Amino acid sequence: MEPVRLRELAGRSDRRCLNTATLGYREPVAVTAQRAAAAGFGWITPWRREIDEGRPARDAEAIRAAGLRVRSYCRTSYLAHDSEAARRQAIDDNRRALEAAAALGARELVAVVGGLADGSRDIDGSRAQILRGLEALMPAIETTGVKIALEPLHPFYAADRSLLNTIAQAQAWCETLDREGRYFGIAVDAYHVWWDPLLAPAIAGAGPRVRAFHVSDWLRHTQEPLLDRGMMGDGVVDLKRLRAMVEATGFDGPVEVEIFSRDRWWKEDPDVVLRTCRERLETVC
Amino acid sequence: MEPVRLRELAGRSDRRCLNTATLGYREPVAVTAQRAAAAGFGWITPWRREIDEGRPARDAEAIRAAGLRVRSYCRTSYLAHDSEAARRQAIDDNRRALEAAAALGARELVAVVGGLADGSRDIDGSRAQILRGLEALMPAIETTGVKIALEPLHPFYAADRSLLNTIAQAQAWCETLDREGRYFGIAVDAYHVWWDPLLAPAIAGAGPRVRAFHVSDWLRHTQEPLLDRGMMGDGVVDLKRLRAMVEATGFDGPVEVEIFSRDRWWKEDPDVVLRTCRERLETVC
C-alpha cells in the first residue's frame, strides 16, 4: 500500500468519538458525556439502553450541555425471525430507533443486522429477510434524515448476531438496496474486519459509503470474542494501517473508540479508561 | 443454487472418513482404527501426535490390518515466525510430516498455516512468510508424492493459528504457488467456512483443487470456537447444501468427520460417538 499521511488526532477533539460501550454502561449518559468531554472527546455514540426514548430531548440536552455532539446511535434490533409478526416488530422497533437517533442529532443508526432466524439453517433465506427488513426502513430513513450504517460483524457472530460479515458484502448490500447512497452507509470496525484478506480493496471499493470507523484491538489469544476486546495497542491489529485505508476513502469523521471488555476495562475507573483511550488514539491509532 | 443429486453415503464405507480428533486422541491409533472400521468407516485421517514418526510403518500396518485406508494426515506446523531459524525449523518439521504421510499412504498433508509471527502486527508480512514456507515445501511434495491441502480456518483463528481464512484466499494462494495444481489443494471444512457470503462461488472456483471435505456443526451459541464443535445436525450449518457445492466440483473423496468437542463428545464412549457420526452422515450430511 502507498504510504498515506494520517490526519492528526492530537489536540483534535473533533476527531475523537467515545462509544459509550467502552465504559460498560455503568453510569447515566449525562455523566458519561461529562467525563468524555473532560477527557478530550468531541463526539459521543450512545446506546439505546442509555436513552429514554420516550423523551430523548432530555438526554440530547445533557449531551449538548457537556459540550459533545452525538455521532451515531447503537443499534438496530435483528431482522431475521421465524415469523412475519416478529419481523414486523423488529422493523417497527428499528423505526423508533431512527426517530430517537434523529432527536439526539445522530448522523446514523448503526445496524447489527442479526443472524439466522431462530431454528433456521437457511442462510440465504435469513439474509433475504434481513435485506427486506432494511428495505422496509427506507421511508423512515427518508423521514428522519438519519442514515443506517451497516456494520459487518466478525464471522464468529454469523449464527446469532449478524449474517453481514465483510466490508465487501456490506458494499454489495448497499449497491443492491441503494445505488445512489442516500440511505445506507458502512461502519468499519477494526475488531470485526482486521483479518479480512480482501480488506484493502474492500474499503477502497466502499469509498464514500464509509460513515464510521471504530477502533479497539484483537488480543492475540482471545478466548471469548464478545466481551474480551483489547485496548488499542494491546493486541495484534495494525490500527494505523487500517486508518490509512479508511482515510484514503475521504472519510473525515472522528475515530470512535468502542471496547467491550467485561473483565478488564469495565472494571477500571472510567476516567482512567478514557485517559488511556485518548493516549492510545494519539500513539497507536 | 441448482438442486444437485448428492452421492449416496448409506452403505458406502468408502465415502466415510474418520478424522481421529473426533475421538479426542484417547486411545492408540490401532484401537481407533479398529473401532472406526467396525462402525463402517473406510478411511481414517490420523494426527501426528498419534503416529510414531520414527517408525510409521508399524502404525501404517495396524491401520491396514483394521481394514482402513489413510486419507489425509494432520497437520503442518505454523510457518510465520519472528526469526529465520524458527521459519527454517518449521519447514524442516513439515518436511518430516510429508515423509511420514507418505509412509502412511496418505493422499495429502493438511496445512494449518499459522497466524501472525510472534509479537507481530504485520499481517501482510506474516502471510508472505507463510507463502515462502509453502513454496519451500514443494520439492518435498515432489519427492514424497504427498500433496498439501491448504485448510482455511475460521477468521476467529487469524491471530494465532491461521492467516488463511477463506476458500477464495486459498484458491488465490494455490494459483500463485502452483498454477498447474501439482502441489497444493484445498481442504473445505464446514465449520470454518459455512458463514462465508461468497462460499458458493469460491468452492465452484476452487473446482478440482478441493481435495478434502470435513464436517461437524457450528452450535448456535458457540462460546469457545476451538473445542466446542457440534455433532452434525446439532448446529446451524446446512451440511447437505455445502456437500452439494463440494460435490459439484467433481470431488469424489470421502466425507470426513472432524469434531473437536472437549466437554461433550470427547467424554462419550468412542463407539457411541462413531455410531452417532455414521447415523448423522446418512441423515443430515
- Measured in angstroms, the CA of A30 and the nearest CA of chain B are apart by 34
Q: Is residue A8 part of a domain?
A: no
Total domain count for chain A? 1
Do you find a cis peptide bond into B75, omega within 30 degrees of 0? yes
- The helix/strand/coil state of A64 is helix
Q: Is residue A83 part of a domain?
A: yes
Tens digit of each residue's pLDDT (9 = 90 or more) over A217-244: 999 988 788 899 999 999 999 999 999 9
Statement: residue A3 has pLDDT above 70: no
Q: Is residue B228 part of a domain?
A: yes
Q: How far apart are the C-alpha atoms of B261 and B284, rounded to whole Å?
A: 19
Q: Is B268 on the interface with A (CB under 8 A)?
A: no
Q: Mean pLDDT, to the nearest integer, of A184-213?
A: 98
Q: Find the CB nearest A224 among B121, B163, B223.
A: B223
Query: Cell 442529532 sits at which residue?
Result: A105
Supply the pLDDT for residue A2.
53
Q: How far apart are the C-alpha atoms of B196 and A123, rounded to whole Å?
A: 10
Residues of A in contact with B194 (CB under 8 A): 123, 158
Q: How many contacts, defined by CB atoms under 8 Å, are there between A and B?
A: 89
Sign of CA dihedral B4, B10, B13, B16: positive
- Measured in angstroms, the CA of A181 and the nearest CA of chain B are apart by 22
Supply the pLDDT for residue B61.
98
The mean predicted confidence, pLDDT, of chain B is 97
Q: Is residue B7 part of a domain?
A: no
As a whole-number percent, the residues of chain A with pLDDT over 90 amount to: 96
Q: Is residue B272 part of a domain?
A: yes
Q: How far apart are the C-alpha atoms of A169 and B168, rounded to whole Å?
A: 14
As a whole-number percent, the residues of chain A with pLDDT over 70 amount to: 99
Tens digit of each residue's pLDDT (9 = 90 or more) over A98-139: 999 999 999 999 999 999 999 999 999 999 999 999 999 999
Tens digit of each residue's pLDDT (9 = 90 or more) over B93-138: 999 999 999 999 999 999 999 999 999 999 999 999 999 999 999 9
Are A221 and B169 a contacting pair at CB < 8 A?
A: no
Q: Which residues contact B268 (CB under 8 A, 6 or more apart)?
A: none
- Measured in angstroms, the CA of B154 and the nearest CA of chain A are apart by 8
Which of B195, B223, B229 should be substituted to probe chain A, the one whose Cβ sees the most A Cβ atoms within 10 Å? B195
Counts of helices then strands in chain A (DSSP H, E): 10, 9
Instruction: Find the DSSP H helices in chain B.
Output: 29-38, 56-65, 84-104, 123-136, 138-144, 167-177, 190-193, 199-206, 239-248, 270-283
Q: Is B236 on the interface with A (CB under 8 A)?
A: yes
Statement: residue B87 has pLDDT above 80: yes
- Find residue B111's DSSP bridge partners: B150
- From residue B60, alpha-carbon distances to B20, B40, B101, B103, B199 in Å are 14, 19, 10, 7, 36
Tens digit of each residue's pLDDT (9 = 90 or more) over B128-182: 999 999 999 999 999 999 999 999 999 999 999 999 999 999 999 999 999 999 9
Q: Is A120 on the interface with B (CB under 8 A)?
A: yes
Q: Is residue A1 part of a domain?
A: no
Statement: residue B231 has pLDDT above 60: yes
Residues of A in contact with B216 (CB under 8 A): none
- Measured in angstroms, the CA of B169 and the nearest CA of chain A are apart by 7
CB B174 within 8 A of CB B185: yes
Residues of B in contact with A127 (CB under 8 A): 197
pLDDT bin (cut points 50, 70, 90) of residue B215 is very high
Q: Mean pLDDT, to the nearest integer, of B80-90?
A: 98
Q: Find the CB nearest A160 among B115, B158, B220.
A: B220
Which residue range forms the structural domain that includes residue B265? 13-283
Statement: residue B2 has pLDDT above 60: no
Q: How far apart are the C-alpha atoms of A151 and A171, rounded to whole Å?
A: 11
Q: Is B169 on the interface with A (CB under 8 A)?
A: yes
DSSP letter for each residue of A107-145: SEEEE--B-SPTT---HHHHHHHHHHHHHHTHHHHHHH-
**Residue A122: which CATH number?**
3.20.20.150
CB B210 within 8 A of CB B188: yes
Statement: residue A265 has pLDDT above 70: yes
Are A121 and B156 a contacting pair at CB < 8 A?
A: no
Half-sphere exposure (CA, 13 Å, Cβ side) for B76? Answer: 32
Q: Is residue B229 part of a domain?
A: yes
Q: Is residue B17 part of a domain?
A: yes
Q: Is A163 on the interface with B (CB under 8 A)?
A: yes
Q: Which residues contact B245 (CB under 8 A, 6 or more apart)?
A: B1, B199, B200, B203, B204
Q: Is A223 on the interface with B (CB under 8 A)?
A: yes
Residues 94-113 of A with CB under 8 A from B: none
Q: How far apart are the C-alpha atoms of A252 and A15, rounded to whole Å?
A: 8
DSSP letter for each residue of A81-109: -SSHHHHHHHHHHHHHHHHHHHHHT-SEE
